[in-house]
Structure 1
Amino acid sequence: MARLFHVPLSPYCRKVRLSLAEKKIECELVEERYWEQDPDFLRRNPAGKVPVLKLDTQTMAESAAICEYLEEAYPEPSLMPKGAEARYEVRRLVSWFDDKFHHEVTSKLLYERVNKKVQGSGYPDSKNVKAGAKAIKYHLDYMAWLLDHRRWLAGDQMTLADFAAAAHLSCLDYISDVDWNRSEAVKDWYAKIKSRPAFRSILADQVPGFPPPPHYADLDF
């Protein structure tokens, strides 16, 4: 069985969890307090970050590289389209959410509201929280625009781009920081994503001191 060292409200860990679950790869979840820089964990990943996946004889770090490996080693069901242009678009959007969205939204809301308290590293910075609350509106509008032209974010089939976006939004939804009324298209897209069996373990996550809102695990909102 695979073993994933993770934290529950990490979008990068959730993206890997979704990929594993969609491909029906059984995985043991091991919660890792990576900020404590435990020597055993640093031996697994000297970068000191999660996720870290142990699969067969491999120990792998970096969520993008892990997901690419899973796609190559376990090609069915596929989370990448076949054509070069379509695959580029998936990778572009994965980078959009894991880089731009993370920097402008996730780090400003989730990390300020939750991570600082969990890690004992101070109090939320109100300027960052306000900036994140403003930026998420722009990103939701961009997603709405994409979904007006496509069935899924990157095209006509569900891909890793949808999982990357859902990983970030599900973390933010856990702390009620997503206005689902802003776009019916985005809300319907997320309802489809979180209704998938791959999402079940994520919707069961609990972070001590941070209970999720009632709608979090409600498949119909």
Structure 2
Amino acid sequence: MRVLYHLPLSPFARKVRLAMAEKRIPFELRVERVWERRPEFLEMNPACTVPVLQEPTGLAIADSYAICEYLDEAYPDTGLLGRTLAERAETRRLVAWFDGKFNLEVTRNLLFEKQMKRMLGRGNPDASAIRAGYQNLRPHLDYIGWLAETRSWLAGAQLSLADFAAAAHLSALDYIGDIDWSLNDAAKEWYARCKSRPSFRALLAERVSGVTPPAHYDDLDF
């Protein structure tokens, strides 16, 4: 059986889960407590980060972007990177935006500080980082809203990995109640379309021990 090693609130693992569900690729989920640094997991990924995809052949692929590129090449029937060179370039640019810039400016300042820091033994949350995360969120939501207003989906006419990268980060933050959807109606409408897709069902149904999401989290109509 194909196995995806993950953490429930990891946006990078969520992106891979959404891509695999959209492609209808069957897989088994296994929680990997990366702070335990299991020797068997370190053999698959010396960086000791999730996600890691292990194929039935034994092939182990680390890093969410490498996994998604692999999936699009290995299972091309439902392509998520775009059809033309220009579409693929724009999709990759936006994936890099959300997994790089958004992650650094928003996700790490909120999700990491509030949920992951203590698990990793790195002390208490940094209040200044949390404030920065909230401040940085608004311009990112505005950018998502602008993309959603000017295109059918974030990268263009077709749903793509760019949508899943953005939705993965936002869904993790939404789970811990850190998204104020009143800040941008267009971003909210785009996210509602994303989370209404069948590929989102497993994420919305999943619960994390000790953390209760807001009532709207799994409400497809907000």
TM-score normalised by length of structure 2:
0.97
> Aligned-pair distance for 1:120?
4.1
Q: Could you tell me how far apart the structure 1 residues matched to 2:80 and 2:26 are?
A: 17
Structure 2 counterpart of 1:105: 106
Q: Could you tell me how far apart the structure 2 residues matched to 1:164 and 1:10 are?
A: 11
Determine helix, strand or coil for the equivalent of 1:106.
helix
Q: Could you tell me how far apart the structure 2 residues matched to 1:117 and 1:46 are?
A: 22
> Aligned-pair distance for 1:36?
1.6
Query: Does the 8 Å contact 1:2/1:25 carry over to 2?
Result: no
Query: Does the 8 Å contact 1:150/1:156 carry over to 2?
Result: yes
TM-score normalised by length of structure 1:
0.97
Query: Does the 8 Å contact 1:203/1:217 carry over to 2?
Result: yes
Structure 1 counterpart of 2:6: 6
Q: Which ranges of structure 1 fall in alignment gaps of 5 or more residues?
A: none
> Aligned-pair distance for 1:118?
3.3
> Aligned-pair distance for 1:117?
3.3
Q: Deviations over 1:121-156 (max 9, x none)?
A: 321100000000000101001111111210110001
Structure 2 counterpart of 1:136: 137
Q: Could you tell me how far apart the structure 1 residues matched to 2:190 and 2:145 are?
A: 9
Q: Could you tell me how far apart the structure 1 residues matched to 2:120 and 2:220 are?
A: 31
Q: Which AA in structure 1 matches 2:41?
A: F
> Which shifted more, 195-204 or 3-12?
195-204
Identity of aligned residues (%): 56
Q: Which AA in structure 1 matches 2:55?
A: L
> Aligned-pair distance for 1:2?
1.1
Structure 2 counterpart of 1:189: 190
Q: Which AA in structure 2 matches 1:21?
A: A
Q: Deviations over 1:163-207 (max 9, x none)?
A: 000000000000111111111111111111111111111112222
Q: What aligned pairs does 1:47-126 form with structure 2 within 5 A after superposition?
A: 47-57=47-57, 58-126=59-127
Structure 2 counterpart of 1:147: 148
Query: Does the 8 Å contact 2:7/2:32 carry over to 1?
Result: yes
Q: Which AA in structure 1 matches 2:197?
A: R
Q: Which ranges of structure 2 fall in alignment gaps of 5 or more residues?
A: none
The RMSD of aligned alpha carbons is 1.0
Determine helix, strand or coil for the equivalent of 2:141.
helix
Q: Could you tell me how far apart the structure 2 residues matched to 1:24 and 1:55 are?
A: 15
Aligned length: 221
Query: Does the 8 Å contact 2:107/2:173 carry over to 1?
Result: yes
Task: Extract structure 1 runs of 4+ deviating beyond 6 A.
Answer: none
